[in-house]
Amino acid sequence: MTPTVLTIAGSDPSGGAGIQADLKTFSALGAYGAAALTALTAQNTQGVRGVLPIAGDFVADQLSAIYDDLDVRATKTGMLGGPDVVDAVVDAVGRYRVPNVVVDPVMVAASGDRLVSDETVAAIRDRLVPRASIITPNLPEAATLLGWDEVRPDRMAEAGAALRELGVPAVVVKGGHDGGPEAVDVLVDENGAQELRATRVATKNTHGTGCTFASAIAVGLARERSVYEAVAEAKRYLTAALQAADTLHVGGGHGPVHHFHALWHSP
Ligand SMILES: Nc1ncnc2c1ncn2[C@@H]1O[C@H](COP(=O)(O)OP(=O)(O)OP(=O)(O)O)[C@@H](O)[C@H]1O
Ligand SMILES: Cc1ncc(CO)c(N)n1
């Protein structure tokens, strides 16, 4: 059966991150994609020029319209416009007993631009993370959520274990931006810490990697894969999408990954 997966995230009009990346990922992996918008951004591959949050009440209206009607097997959250938006998500997840919630605690874009306020980060940590099935912070996001100065790559398992204390059963700490020959992530769940390794792809086209990874995990959970299998499959998909990214030629900055690498055959 084709599972329905929902993304609750911001729009990236350049198409590589946010809602656009999420819907491409769902489609590429054979899931039906639904999307509730939390914010509009004006951004491209080079940077973020503006952010227009959607009112929390209207996010709540979008979510009840979707959950009242669609059989959503997994929900992924990305950029959340403000604390009122976080509360709308928390409320809907509780009221509809939403299964398989993947929270990507988005804070900055690949360009380095900040995407959400400190209040929004606090609301995500205190109210949304405890409702999630899995969260997917990168190293700076893990440090911010924990109130640590930084998370160094040799402390990813420790950070993951500390993040579980926020009330979430599984954490994948992403080490993608660390410069080694491999992109190493650490999954910490009730089975302990497990490393997931992939060859680092030499490309500057990394816009939307975090969105794509979390969305692919959501598809795996919607298919009732184990958390480990969902994360491992997501990493395989993303690595292949990164390997094909340089064939796309989109924009002059950090371009998108190739979501449809397995379907398109360029001449
Ligand atoms: N150059 C690369 N080669 C291979 N894998 C990578 C590379 N860069 C990132 N990854 C992997 O991509 C996934 C997403 O991690 P990343 O650290 O890029 O997320 P992020 O910082 O949240 O992304 P975003 O910039 O979209 O917010 C992880 O599995 C990470 O290991
Ligand atoms: C809308 C949006 N969400 C997430 C990210 C993080 O990559 C981004 N750049 N833009």
In tens, the pLDDT along 149-193 reads 999 999 999 999 999 999 999 999 999 777 789 999 999 999 999
- Residue of 4, 25, 77, 206 marked active site: 206
Cα 166 to ligand 1 centre (Å)? 23
Q: Look at strands 101-103 and 134-135 and give their pairing.
A: parallel
Q: Which of 90, 82, 92, 77 is nearest to 39 (CA)?
A: 82
Q: 180 in helix, strand or coil?
A: coil
Give me the residue spans of the domains in the chain: 4-247
Q: 141 in helix, strand or coil?
A: helix
The predicted pLDDT at position 73 comes to 98
pTM of the model: 0.97
Architecture of domain 4-247: 3-Layer(aba) Sandwich (3.40)
The predicted pLDDT at position 179 comes to 74
Q: pLDDT band for 116, please (50, 70, 90 cuts).
A: confident
- pLDDT tens digit sequence for 9-39: 999 999 999 999 999 999 999 999 999 999 9
**Is residue 12 in contact with ligand 2, taking CB distance under 6 Å?**
yes
Mean pLDDT of the chain: 95
Residues 6+ positions from 108 with CB-CB distance below 8 Å:
114, 115, 140
pLDDT, average across residues 130-144: 96
Position in ligand 2 atom list of the atom nearest CA 10: 1
Q: Which of 211, 250, 259 to mutate to test the pocket of ligand 2 (most atoms within 8 A of CB)?
A: 211
> Going by CA atoms, what residue is nearest to atom 9 of ligand 2?
109
Has 10 been annotated as catalytic?
Answer: no
- pLDDT tens digit sequence for 67-107: 999 999 999 999 998 999 999 999 999 999 999 999 999 98
Region class of 97: left (phi > 0), else alpha (psi between -120 and 50), else beta = left
**Is residue 201 in contact with ligand 2, taking CB distance under 6 Å?**
no
Distance, CA of 144 to CA of 197 (rounded, Å): 24
The predicted pLDDT at position 115 comes to 83
Q: pLDDT band for 264, please (50, 70, 90 cuts).
A: confident
Has 212 been annotated as catalytic?
Answer: no
